[in-house]
Structure formats: C-alpha cells, structure tokens
Structure 1
C-alpha cells in the first residue's frame, strides 16, 4: 500500500495543454532554420514540449523542447524557443545533428532490474532489491530497498563520444541517503555511461566552503501521504515572533512579533490555508507554501511542529547560542516557516508564480502543474542528519521540494589578545591558548590583565627565544612578555619568563613559510603559574616592530562565551540561499526539468548568494560595504568574511574576483574530480551584486521588496526574467546575454550600456569566452575580457553586430499580411522602408522609439519580391522580402 501511494502521487499530474499554433510556430522555425543549424528534416520532425514559462515583464513565452528518436527522448536535449506576438523571435536549439546515423540500437538487451544491478556494481554498492510498481508515460517507478523513497527509470538515448547509446536513465537514493544518484546505464551491455551525485559531499573542516547540497529528482515518501488537514477554523490573523526578513541573523538584529505578514497577492488566503476558502486549515507551521517541522533524528520523518492555537500566535522563546537547541525548537521552526513563506511571497512578484513552477499545495487556479498532494516545501528544522550544512532538493513541477537546515558547531573565535595602543595597530587579535598538562593556567577573566609588552632578552642567540635566563629581568617584571619561538620546549620558555617576573607570555611563531599559522603549544611543567598564548609570525613580528619604536599596551583576557551551537533556522540569509536553488532550478530549462544546471559554469550558487543579499539589503547600505554569507553560523562579526573566499563588495580591493578566476575551480575528493560550485557561484554573485548597485545608483533604492520601483526591484525582475531566457546548462557568457536580452525585451535596452560596463569590469566583456563548459575541462578553458561594446545608441552597433542573425530578424519571410522587424539590444529612432524592384518606396514607417520589434502591414501589396531597408542611429540594414 505504501509504494502504491508513492507512484500514485508521482503520476497524478495535472494536464498541461500547449497551444497547437505555437507548436506549429516551433516546427516552422525548425523547418526554416534546419539547414543553418546543420539539421536534417528527420532531425527536426520528432520532438515534444516538456514545459513552458512566461514573463509579463518581457512578454515572452518560453517553450522548452526536447528531441526524440522514434519517440524516445534524447537525454537533456533541451532547446529554448522564445515566442512573442505569435512568432519565434529567438531559439537556442540543442538538437543532435544527423540523429538517425548516431543511434546504436532501438532495442534494449538489459532490462530495468538488470540496469539497477549494473548501477550498484559500478558504484560499489551492495545489491538492493527493486520491484516494479508502476509504468506510466514511459517512466517506471520501482521500490528502492528499505527506503520509502522510490526509484525511477526510463529509456533514453545518452550521448557517448558523439554517438547516442540506448540507455536506462536511473534515479535513486543510496541506502544510507548519502547519495542521490542520477546515472545512465547502457541498455545493451550494462556499462556505466554517466553518473551524477546530486548530493555534493565535502568535509566541512577540510574544504574552503561548508558543505551543502541540492538534490534534483522526483521522489516521494510514504510519510507524506497521510497528512490529514484539520477542520477549517477561522479567517487568518496570525502572529509570529521571528527575525524580520531584512534582518539576516540574531547577530544583525532582534526578533519581533509580526502580525499577518503574508502578501495578499502571492498568498491571498494567508499562510495556513490550502482550500481557497477563508479560514486556516492548520494551526501549526503548515499551509499552502510550506510545512515546517523539526527533524532532529534526521530521518525525514514526522517531526514535531509548533502550534499557534486558534489565534495562530507563534511566540516561542529563543535562548541563543549558549543553550541546547532542543530548548528553542519551536522558535527555530517558526522562523523557518516564516522565511520560507516570505521567499515564496516576495519572488512571486518577480515571476516565480504558479505558471512558472513555484511551490504551492494549491495553485488556486492560476496555472502550473497541479497534483493531488501539490508541491509545497517540506522544511526540516534542526535536521539531525548532519551539522554545518544546509540543502534544498528540487524535483520537477508538481512534486514537493525539501529544505534541510542544520545546527552548526563553529564556535566564536576567542580573541584573547587586545592591543590598546598605539592606535596604528589597536584591535583584537586571535591568540591560541596552550595545552600544557600540567602547567595550563587560565587567562584572567574580564577585564583581564592589562600592561605593556616587553621583548624577552637572553645572552645566547637567538637572544629573544627565552631558552636561557633573561638578562632584562627588571624590565620583564609584571609585564606581558613577548618571546620568539625557538629550539627549546614551550614550557622552558614560559618558566624562564615566569622566573624573571613576567605576568604572562606571548610566544611568536618563527615559520616564515607559513606566516599565518598557529601551532598547538603542548608540554608539561607543574611549576608554571602564569598564562601563555601563541600568535602567528605576522601578528607577532608586527608587535615586535612596533615595540622597537615605542610602547605597546595590551590586554590578555578570557572572553570565552558559552557556546553550544548556532542554528541555521535563524540565518535568514542561508534560508533565502537554499530556497533560491529551487527558483533557479525551476526557471532554468523549464519547471519540468531539474537537470539544466549541470554545466561546468552553472551559476546556481551565485544566484542563491545574490538572492540572499537582495533580501537583506536596506536603506543606508553602501555598495562598498563588506557582506559575508553566513557570518552568524560561522561565529563571525556581522562584517566578517563568512563562508566564501571573499565577502561581497563592489570594492575590488575587498572582492577582487573576475571571470578569469573561475579557471581551476575544481577539486579531487575520494579519487573523483568535482567542480567547486561554491567558488564558481561566488564569481557570478559578485557580478550580480555589482549590477545591483549600478541599478540602485541609477534608479534609487526602494525598501518595498514586493512592489517597489527602485533599482533593487528592477534588477530582481531582470535576473528572474533572464533565468527563463537562458539555455539549459548555461555558461557565464550565455547568462550575461540572457540578462542583456531581458533588458532589451522590457525596456528596449535602456540599461544596455550600464549592464555591459558592469560585466566587462569583472572580465565578462564582449570577447570573453566560456570555452567548452562541460566537465573538468570546461572549468579550465575560460577566457576573460574587459572590452565593452563600441559606443553608439545603447552601446550596440559594433562592426560585426549583424553577423549574429539572432540579433536582427525579419519574419515571416515570405509574408502575407504583416512583416515583423526584431532587433535585439537597440532602441531609438528607426525608419523602415519597402521598395519594389523599380526602386519605388511602397511602404514607409517611422518609429520614434523602437523597442525590440516593430510590425508593418503589407497586406495591400501585390505578390512579388521587395527590398526592405531599415535605418537608424548608426544602423543600416537591407534584406530581400517575398510577398505571397
């Protein structure tokens, strides 16, 4: 019964009807352009529309089309067709050329159960029992060992060295839930053709960035099947004690009681409704957009959830980082519920709505894929399956994603050393305490020990290493004594200083090859009665240099705070980051495809960081401010670096990243090579953050994140529109081009110059190249360029502007009634003329402010051949036209 319900949900999808006239437009485009694309007629005859997307801002509907061979899908052959005014105005066609000649077979030798056995063998896994549960639409649903989450399989054609092998496309969780495998198994010989682990694994203490992963598949669990709504209660008036979304974390501000914070456009019935009738169906942290509950045992099971009662008041205490997380689970779950709903509501206004695949139980009749159980977010608070982590899984439209937030054990760095004067070096410095046993003496409690620093001197070189009796004991008495690391034991140094009257000791590392390295001072001497700490070469030598020219006053103190853990459920930035993985996955390549962010340069981590920054940007912020990600979870101050290599800032002395830095962003783990997606994403987010401030500088800042008209609002719209326009598996270059195209479609290119200036400044200029953008090789062949387009109206008309036929389109041709002229990235005056073969002007139309395209009526003309001439600022274009 359990498994039956699983596949029932999996295939209880709503009907999506695509307009046949649009299908015919796609076919017409393919027929007309197939030779230019190197495709045969048979290559373009068998395809299907997997999903569509649209934007009210651009007026463009995107058709995401996949190629078939005899009804079998060519794996991930996603083509993106832009349709506006009933015509295809642009297309990114990914069809395979000469398809039939590359097919190895149409008949599988290996059956589906054998394919799973081959997969387990190739991946080094124990054998797992699979039973077929259902066949539907070419997809097979199977049991998956002891897991509630089912496995899926379908026959596809997979690319192998420019040939296409019939293959089984398998998706399943490993039995320990550590891997979510997406693999292609050759349907003839069982060979592993391709594998992707949708769980990005990285030991937090061993990697530059904390681990978080993003799963992409269509899975369901039995536990989701029996959630019975409560009786309708009352019109929703709700209260939540949370961190308002503009406040990133408890370090950035305080929690507040917010009343009914839902948006009436995005969530017209509140956050606890699912039936489109006034009155909440749930009094706990569940509703149309998200179901938040704790998962402290880490099994994705039915956890506890806070109940706000009939009045929907969610006001629970939070004790901070110094108390056990179990004492504030209700507060954490409430904040997680709130922030997920906020993300749903805010980004709804920028086009992440029902028709574009957003996350809702009930689509309220507004389009999109409708399923029996819906696709609201499962949000797990204080997930016990790991620490120092966060993740978001994004299945296809109609299937619920899952967010998992974890506890973090990265405690505050104890800044035991404070330099009080001189002002040139004043500040807090990290100093490592010793591990003498016996002989360890605690640093004094606040206010600590304050005195001048004095350099130890003995009679034998190196005469500052305290390996012999001090010759300046009179100066050392009662002072904090500075000693260079040398050949004798640490305990010997400390005891010598103590015997000379020192109150405390600072030992300076002497490792010039690793000038920022700390070491663990170990040893044993029960006679030691003073505290001793260790500093790096760079810190210590800077102190010694300053001491040589004057007095340095310092304080040693034990300012340790009680720390048990920090909780990701209170980091609104990290929650926003994770949620945005769902947005970028659903909007890139269409909501029915979760496999369009696999390229070497895929920018998923970048969009997520950027969206988190956009949610927290406030009036008074400056473009050069230091903005770190997850500083709260990293126990850093609010202006800390965070978990990325550099914090975000438009100041290139703070954040120096450029496109060229993406080269080499990969690593080896357990013998396999992986793209360092977090580092790659940081470069993209850096560019988007620069773009944000360029927009704010031009259009101002609007604190209304929902309906504002400021530069921040404009760039939020722009970036989401671009996600829909970009191809499946985009590169930095194609992502940039999509942003430029989105600007052209909405404003006629008003901000074209500004956009190019921003991207060129970070190395993504006109001549930048993404290279192959596939595999490890594809993250080692990028070429950066800082060139902007040639000057002119909207910076467009460089010498080779019209070499790209997608930039200038005249359609349809031949034509009957209307002729459309489309020019990407141009706005301004335009004069359109049509000449007959005798040179007479038979049609003329002047356009004062051209925006993307214009239409002229040629219905009255006789059938025949005409010449079209289009002239504008620095623009002249001629093309032959046939009137039918």
Structure 2
C-alpha cells in the first residue's frame, strides 16, 4: 500500500466541516454527526446525516385516501403516495427501495431522488398495520442548492484517490451515482465507492463529489466492540462445553447448517456462515460433521486443537443467532444473511464470513455490515489480558453481540447498512448488541444483573463500566448521562441498561418462557420483549435517536399486541429518564401517559 499523502481538497473539506460545527455543543450533534478516524495516519472526517423526523400514530393509524390505499395499490405505490402527501413532494422525487410484510405490519423504505438519482442520506420509511399507516420517518431535504445530475469526473479517476485516502483497496463492488445531503444545505452528486483493507479489518463506503473529486463522507460498515462449543445459553468457556446433536432449527435453516439445498459440506461452511481461522478460508474446521474437538484454555488459543474448537464454536453461535432471529423476523425478506434465499425475498449470496483468531487485531471483535446481497464479515480476536491468552470465540456474549450488529444494521433502514451512522444511532447499535447477548443468557423469571466480557479479561468486572441492572445504585446510567458521553460504546451502555429495565419489567409482568429461542408464539415477557426488539428495528427511522427508537418500541407494541404493554414500556423507559415528554436534548423526563 502506498504511503498516505494528505490531499489539499480533502483537508479543506474537513476543516470546513469542523469550522461549521464549532458553535454547537458536542452532545447536540449526536443525532446528525460522527467523526471518523481513518487509515494509518488517523485521517479525521466529520460525517453528517440530515436530522430526521419520526411520528407514530398509535392504534388509530392514518387512513390513506381511497385512491392510494395500500389495499388498492400495494406497498410500493402506497409508500410513494404517502410520502408525497406528508412532505408535499412530487412522486418523481420519491424512489422505492425495499419493503416487506413482517407479520405484525408492513414496511417500506424509500429514498429521495432528483432527476432519477437517489439520495444516500435523505430517506423515509413507512409502516402499516392492516391498511393504516402507523409510523412515518423522514430525513428528506430541500433541493434548492443541488448539483447537476450528470458527473463531470469519471469514477475510475477517483478510485485511486479513495484507496490512498482510506488506506484500502477498491473491492470490485459496482460504484453507483447518488446524491449526498450536506450540512450547509447543499446537495452534492457523488460517486459511491467501497474500499476494504483486509489486514486492518476496515470496510468503508466513500462518497466522492462527482464534480470536484473531494471525499465528502463515508459509511463505515464495521461495528467495533471493545469487550470481549458452548451452548448459546452459556456465557463463556468456564460454564462448560457440551456435545449437541443436530442443533439446527429446520424452519430457519431448512437444509440444516451444512447445505444450501444444492451443495453439501462437511466443514464449517454452510448457507448462513463460513467460519475459518486467521483470515484464511482453508483454515475451516473439517470433521465429517463430527465437530467434537474440545477446547483447553490451559494452552494458547493458537494450538491446532484449540483453533478447531474455536472455529466450531463460532460457527455454531452465528448459526444459532441466525436461526432464533429468523423466528422473530430477521428473514430473507428482512435482509438477513444467507447464500440461498430459497425464493423468499431479499438478496442472497451474503452468508456471514466468520474469521476466528483474526490477525488484524487483539482484545476486540468487529462486524462489518454491507448492504443486503454482500456478505457480512465478523472478526474475532485473541485477548492477551491473561496468561495463557484467551480466545474471544469462547465467550458467547461477544459473538452474539457482533452478530447483532448485522441484524440491527440490516433491519434499520431497509437493508442498506447505512442507517446507524451517527454517534447516537451507533451508540444504540452497541446497546442493542449487549441487550441481545443478555437476552439469550437470562435463565428464569428472576432477572439477574448482567456483566459483559468477564472471561476474556479474566476479571469479574467485565468490559463495561457497570453491570446492567434495574438497581440505580448498581447502574446509575440515565438518559441525561449521554450529555457527558461522546464514544459509541459508552452511549451504548445507557441504551442497553434501559433495555435491561424494559426486559425486567416485561418478565415481571408476563413471566418467562424457557423455550423462547425456538417458540416465538407464546406471551411470556422474554418472548414479547424479543418481538418488540425486532419489530421496532423495522419501524424506526434511519439514524434513530433514543426518543425515536423508544417511540418505535411503543408503536411495535401497538401493532403486535394492540398496546397491551404500553404502560409497562413507558414506565421502564421513564425510570431511566426517557419518559413520555423526553426530547432529543438528553434531559431526563419521567412522565408517563395518563392512565398509566
């Protein structure tokens, strides 16, 4: 890779962005901005997403006029008509991207367009219950100051510049032309180019002005985690390995885990995930479908037997998350990860690539989530905080956390991988991942405090500041805590602890199901919680805030359970400052609706 050279136009773009941002308090930018540090020389790029609006319409919903009702026109035209009616835009300015029938509702995701060119970051989403609109989010922008729609610079001339600036290589994904809304109110025409660095574990989508060649913004497909075969209901290696026979859920994986319905394997490669070690596909574990090598953590993780056992555990966990999340709505049409989608919607060819003992880092893990149709990539690292070292793939909460990044990035915004890019939304992404890891590990109606990453650190404190807890003396984090936070994992702790309180309230109200991983058709609290968790992802807007994400939970409950849990949810959120009248200002509010 060539040494990095600062490009004058790139520096100007960065300094201009920083200068505009200066008068605003840091926390006020969480919902619209995120600073990216890229490459070996820590290039600093301040990225922007338009401030969105989000409304939920409760049980009544909004009936569309008879000419544009869902029943008459279908999800595509109905979504465009509703956006037009709400925003007063011409139908030609709205482009349908994707949609699905999620069981508890129907969902459509659209983009603003201009002269047939879609926008990267001006998007909208519409949700229906039956034939009435129940939620609407939009970040459409004014187009008075918009660049011409025909590029004046060929994309092939900017790819080398992007590779050098972002310290990676063009990955061959076909570049596109899209508009990018900017902080100063202008709209730039951009070449959209994907760049990866396999050794460093980075994967960016760059937006390069098609008239000047400036790099204006990026989407980072990689979600990093700063924390750290076992049955998925066990947290880490000390809890004990078990031999499981045929654990695949044939509803979610109809040909089990080693077949796509066409080809069969006897290694850790299947329709949902390909697991291997050291970034090398040949380092898959092959065992004639008998993957029974035991892990021994008195030896270094890199011994051959430990490597095989780690790959097997990672393969098992990713598949298991695929299977239970499928039952709760992360299906082919909801943009999941599968090579063969069996003609059930979505784009195939995108099973998860799981790299165990990845050589690109230590003491961490990450998950890259490109758009539907491109494989997600999970990298698990070795941890050197103990002697012998420990393998993150033997701590299940870490793997579940990482796979959840793939779920939340795909289900938010319609499969683009672009809609958790602000500081606040990225923070919630970390929080959802911790919350999912906790959900699979809670064992009864006695909701225990939860600690992430104890095994890899060799410490009972784990890798978060506080245990997740309903006790404010154990975990004092509240909505207002975000005012002092700028890092996504720290913000994620606030959201994860709110969800811990939501989970505890639902279980206290409705009880606990021991079959929640395989049976989503009951009404116990942990089952209800996971339905609302997944439904809300489809409902919420692109780059949600805490407030809009909470509203999506409330509307999800209205859609699926006719609002039966509204008061329980509001009380739980309000207990941590995200009450009925909380605004996007990180000021605590404990109000709950009348009647609660």
> TM-score, normalised on structure 2?
0.82
Alignment partner of 1:308 is 2:287: yes
Question: What is the Cα deviation at residue 45 of structure 1?
Answer: 2.5
SS across alignment from 2:175: strand
Q: Are the structure 2 counterparts of residues 120 and 378 from structure 1 closer, same or farther at C-alpha, using a change threshold of 3 Å? A: closer
Residues 135 and 539, structure 2, Cα contact 8 Å, conserved in 1: no
Residues 290 and 340, structure 1, Cα contact 8 Å, conserved in 2: yes
* Separation in structure 1 between the aligned mates of residue 478 and residue 282 of structure 2, nearest angstrom: 44
Q: Are the structure 2 counterparts of residues 189 and 324 from structure 1 closer, same or farther at C-alpha, using a change threshold of 3 Å? A: closer
Question: What is the Cα deviation at residue 178 of structure 1?
Answer: 5.3
Structure 1 match to 2:383: 408
* Separation in structure 2 between the aligned mates of residue 284 and residue 200 of structure 1, nearest angstrom: 27
* Separation in structure 1 between the aligned mates of residue 380 and residue 85 of structure 2, nearest angstrom: 50
Alignment partner of 1:701 is 2:512: yes
Any idea what the Cα deviations from partners look like across 1:118-155, whole Å, max 9, x if unmatched? Answer: 5457x386xx9xxxxxxxxxxxxxxx47xxx3355322
* Separation in structure 1 between the aligned mates of residue 458 and residue 495 of structure 2, nearest angstrom: 25
Q: Are the structure 2 counterparts of residues 88 and 211 from structure 1 closer, same or farther at C-alpha, using a change threshold of 3 Å? A: same
Question: What is the Cα deviation at residue 747 of structure 1?
Answer: 1.4
Structure 1 match to 2:100: 53
User: Which ranges of 4 or more aligned residues in structure 1 deviate by more than 6 Å?
Assistant: none
Of the three residues 444, 457, 464, the one matched with 1:644 is: 464
* Separation in structure 1 between the aligned mates of residue 230 and residue 265 of structure 2, nearest angstrom: 22
Question: What is the Cα deviation at residue 574 of structure 1?
Answer: 0.6
Of the three residues 176, 189, 203, the one matched with 2:212 is: 189
Structure 2 match to 1:577: 401
Alignment partner of 1:281 is 2:264: yes
Any idea what the Cα deviations from partners look like across 1:320-348, whole Å, max 9, x if unmatched? Answer: 14445324111111111111111111111
Residues 599 and 731, structure 1, Cα contact 8 Å, conserved in 2: no
Residues 22 and 86, structure 1, Cα contact 8 Å, conserved in 2: no
* Separation in structure 2 between the aligned mates of residue 324 and residue 594 of structure 1, nearest angstrom: 32
Q: How many residues align?
A: 519
Residues 389 and 405, structure 1, Cα contact 8 Å, conserved in 2: yes
* Separation in structure 2 between the aligned mates of residue 19 and residue 572 of structure 1, nearest angstrom: 47
Alignment partner of 1:784 is 2:588: yes
Structure 2 match to 1:85: 130
The residue correspondences of 1:218-229 to structure 2 (distance < 5 A) are none
* Separation in structure 1 between the aligned mates of residue 277 and residue 316 of structure 2, nearest angstrom: 14
The residue correspondences of 1:419-498 to structure 2 (distance < 5 A) are none
Of the three residues 157, 163, 169, the one matched with 2:186 is: 163
Residues 118 and 191, structure 1, Cα contact 8 Å, conserved in 2: no
Question: What is the Cα deviation at residue 350 of structure 1?
Answer: 0.6
Deviates more, 1:650-659 or 1:319-328: 319-328
Structure 1 match to 2:234: 247
* Separation in structure 2 between the aligned mates of residue 175 and residue 619 of structure 1, nearest angstrom: 42
SS across alignment from 2:484: coil
Any idea what the Cα deviations from partners look like across 1:805-833, whole Å, max 9, x if unmatched? Answer: xxxxxxxxxxxxxxxxxxxxxxxxxxxxx
* Separation in structure 2 between the aligned mates of residue 403 and residue 785 of structure 1, nearest angstrom: 38
* Separation in structure 1 between the aligned mates of residue 198 and residue 285 of structure 2, nearest angstrom: 31
SS across alignment from 2:136: strand
The residue correspondences of 1:205-604 to structure 2 (distance < 5 A) are 210=226, 242-251=229-238, 253-275=239-261, 281-295=264-278, 300-309=279-288, 312-327=289-304, 328-370=306-348, 374-411=349-386, 563-591=387-415, 593-602=416-425, 603-604=428-429
* Separation in structure 1 between the aligned mates of residue 423 and residue 277 of structure 2, nearest angstrom: 35
Structure 2 match to 1:813: none
Structure 2 match to 1:719: 533
Q: Are the structure 2 counterparts of residues 211 and 191 from structure 1 closer, same or farther at C-alpha, using a change threshold of 3 Å? A: farther
* Separation in structure 2 between the aligned mates of residue 61 and residue 392 of structure 1, nearest angstrom: 28
Of the three residues 141, 146, 153, the one matched with 2:175 is: 153
Alignment partner of 1:631 is 2:454: yes
Question: What is the Cα deviation at residue 286 of structure 1?
Answer: 1.7
Residues 290 and 341, structure 1, Cα contact 8 Å, conserved in 2: yes
Residues 760 and 787, structure 1, Cα contact 8 Å, conserved in 2: yes
Structure 2 match to 1:659: 479
Residues 53 and 724, structure 1, Cα contact 8 Å, conserved in 2: no
Structure 1 match to 2:438: 613
SS across alignment from 1:753: helix
Question: What is the Cα deviation at residue 634 of structure 1?
Answer: 0.9
Unaligned runs of 5+ in 2: 1-70
Question: What is the Cα deviation at residue 742 of structure 1?
Answer: 0.5
Any idea what the Cα deviations from partners look like across 1:370-400, whole Å, max 9, x if unmatched? Answer: 3xxx221111122122211111111211221
SS across alignment from 1:757: helix
SS across alignment from 1:259: coil
Of the three residues 548, 551, 559, the one matched with 1:745 is: 559
Q: Are the structure 2 counterparts of residues 180 and 287 from structure 1 closer, same or farther at C-alpha, using a change threshold of 3 Å? A: closer
* Separation in structure 1 between the aligned mates of residue 110 and residue 215 of structure 2, nearest angstrom: 27
The residue correspondences of 1:13-24 to structure 2 (distance < 5 A) are 21-24=74-77
Q: Are the structure 2 counterparts of residues 764 and 749 from structure 1 closer, same or farther at C-alpha, using a change threshold of 3 Å? A: same
Of the three residues 55, 64, 78, the one matched with 1:25 is: 78
Question: What is the Cα deviation at residue 19 of structure 1?
Answer: 9.7
* Greater RCO, 1 or 2 (C-alpha within 8 Å, sep 6+): 2
Structure 2 match to 1:556: none
Structure 1 match to 2:34: none
Structure 2 match to 1:545: none
* Separation in structure 1 between the aligned mates of residue 302 and residue 72 of structure 2, nearest angstrom: 53
* Separation in structure 1 between the aligned mates of residue 503 and residue 201 of structure 2, nearest angstrom: 37
Residues 301 and 307, structure 2, Cα contact 8 Å, conserved in 1: no
Residues 740 and 752, structure 1, Cα contact 8 Å, conserved in 2: yes
Residues 288 and 362, structure 1, Cα contact 8 Å, conserved in 2: yes
SS across alignment from 1:663: helix
Structure 1 match to 2:63: none
Alignment partner of 1:690 is 2:501: yes
Residues 763 and 786, structure 1, Cα contact 8 Å, conserved in 2: yes
Structure 1 match to 2:117: 72
Unaligned runs of 5+ in 1: 1-17, 129-143, 202-208, 213-241, 412-562, 667-675, 772-781, 796-884
SS across alignment from 1:293: strand
Structure 2 match to 1:474: none
Question: What is the Cα deviation at residue 404 of structure 1?
Answer: 1.2
* Separation in structure 1 between the aligned mates of residue 477 and residue 266 of structure 2, nearest angstrom: 47
Q: Are the structure 2 counterparts of residues 199 and 397 from structure 1 closer, same or farther at C-alpha, using a change threshold of 3 Å? A: closer
Choose between structure 1 and 2: higher strand proportion. Answer: 1
* Separation in structure 1 between the aligned mates of residue 499 and residue 166 of structure 2, nearest angstrom: 41
Choose between structure 1 and 2: higher helix proportion. Answer: 2
Of the three residues 744, 765, 768, the one matched with 2:579 is: 765
* Separation in structure 2 between the aligned mates of residue 571 and residue 52 of structure 1, nearest angstrom: 35
Q: Please, what is the CA RMSD of the aligned residues?
A: 2.4
The residue correspondences of 1:96-111 to structure 2 (distance < 5 A) are 96-97=141-142, 99=143, 101-111=144-154
Question: What is the Cα deviation at residue 103 of structure 1?
Answer: 1.3
